Amino acid sequence: MSLSPIDAKRCQPSANLLAGGVGGLAGLVVGHPLDTVKVRLQTMQAGGGTSLPYASARDCFLKIVRHEGMCGLFKGMSVLAVTSIPRFALMFYANTWGRLLARSPEESQLTLKHILHGGMFSQVLIAPTITAPIERVKVLLQVHPTKFSGQVNCLSYILKT
C-alpha cells in the first residue's frame, strides 16, 4: 500500500506525539475545571440536614473557589497532565494505524469505514489499559479532596482495595 505524504507524516510517532500532546493538554486545561464541577454535582449527598451542598453548577464552582481556591478546580489534573501527552499520542497513533489497516491497496480515499475502524482500533487498545485507571484516580481526588495526599497515595489506595 502506497501512503500519501500526509498519511506518511501521520504515521510518524513524533507527529502524533505533538498533535496528541498539544490537543490533550489544551483540552485538559479548559475542560478539567468543568469536569471537577460535574463530578462534585454527580456525587453530592445531603449533609446533616436535608439540603444539598450545591444549588447549581455555578454555586458549586463558586464554593470550590471560595473554600479551596482556584487550585481546587484542578485537583487530580497533574496525573492527567503527565499522562495526557503519551495517552493522546498513542490514541492518535493507533487511530492512524487502524485506518491504514482497514484500507485495501487500491483504495486511495478515506471512507467512513476507515474512520470507524481507526476509532475502534485506538479505543480497544488505549481506553482499558491507560484511560480508565487514570480516570479513576482523577475522580477519587475530585470527590475526596482531603482524603489523599496525592496521586501516588490515591493509586496505592486503589491497588490495596
HEC string for 85-140: HHHHHHHHHHHHHHHHHHCCCCCCCCCHHHHHHHHHHHHHHHHHHHHHHHHHHHHH
pLDDT, tens digit (0-9, with 9 covering 90-100), for 37-69: 998 998 888 766 678 889 999 999 999 999 999
Model pLDDT, residue 98: 85
Cell 473557589 found at = 65
Cβ neighbors of 38 (< 8 A, separation 6 or more) are 57
Residue 149 has which C-alpha cell?
495526599
Nearest by Cα to 97 from 18, 21, 12: 12
Query: Confidence class of residue 13 from pLDDT cuts 50, 70 and 90?
Result: low
Tell me, yes or no, if the pTM score tops 0.85. no
Give per-residue pLDDT as tens, 18-27.
Answer: 888 888 888 8
Lowest mean pLDDT among 14-18, 89-93, 125-129: 14-18
Which percentage of the chain shows pLDDT scores above 90? 25
